[in-house]
Amino acid sequence: MRGIPVSSVVQATLLLASLFALGSPRDVGAQPSSRPWVLELGEAVGGGPPDIDVLANGTVVFRIETKAALGGDLEGTLAQRITQVFDGADEDGLLPISTLWKIKTSAGVLEGYYSGTFIHLEDGSHEILQSGRVLRVSKPYADLYQAEIFYLGTLDSGHSVEQATLTIAAPH
């Protein structure tokens, strides 16, 4: 099985994580801050099996919807609609991944996208590195409109999420 050396991904992960400082939880409606909002994905609370289509030319179209609890600076749920389209011959390499997401909290909603790379590692696990933007907000989260968002996730060899973090960097 081909794969990316774990050390390469660990270095990239550490670089990305070093860009953001952790802090205390936020109050909804608080004044905008330059400190990023850090959210941790918790237990899966819904979703379904993937839809996988293989086209005549060998292109794989993979789609899945997931839903998970969120904790950290915001508490609520994260719903994701994930898509991957890739050449089936490249399945064990670096693959593109795109996600439309929606965060629901007791105070409101944020929506947006992120896209990036799905990485198959030598040990059978996977890393997902994505970045994107907040595109839609409800009133309590108006200061996060157009904010950058970063997703960093680790999956085990069975594609179950071991750990995932979202970091939202408020616009300046």
**Residue 31 domain-assigned (yes or no):** no
pLDDT category, 1, cuts 50, 70, 90? very low
**Residue 29 domain-assigned (yes or no):** no
**Residue 49 domain-assigned (yes or no):** yes
**Residue 52 domain-assigned (yes or no):** yes
**Under DSSP, is residue 158 helix (H, G, I), strand (E, B) or coil?**
coil
Give the model confidence (pLDDT) of 9-43 as tens digits. Answer: 444 443 344 333 333 444 454 444 578 999 999 88
Strand partners, 86: 60
pLDDT category, 148, cuts 50, 70, 90? very high
**C-alpha torsion sign, points 105, 129, 127, 89:** positive
Q: How many domains does the chain have?
A: 1
Whether the CB-CB separation of 94 and 4 falls below 8 Å is answered with yes
Structural domain of 97? 6-24+36-169
| Domain CATH for 15 | 2.40.160.20
pTM tops 0.75: yes
Whether the CB-CB separation of 131 and 152 falls below 8 Å is answered with no
**Residue 30 domain-assigned (yes or no):** no
Give the model confidence (pLDDT) of 76-124 as tens digits. Answer: 999 999 999 999 988 888 999 999 999 999 999 999 999 999 999 989 8
**Residue 1 domain-assigned (yes or no):** no
**Main-chain phi, psi angles of 16, to 5 degrees:** -65, -45
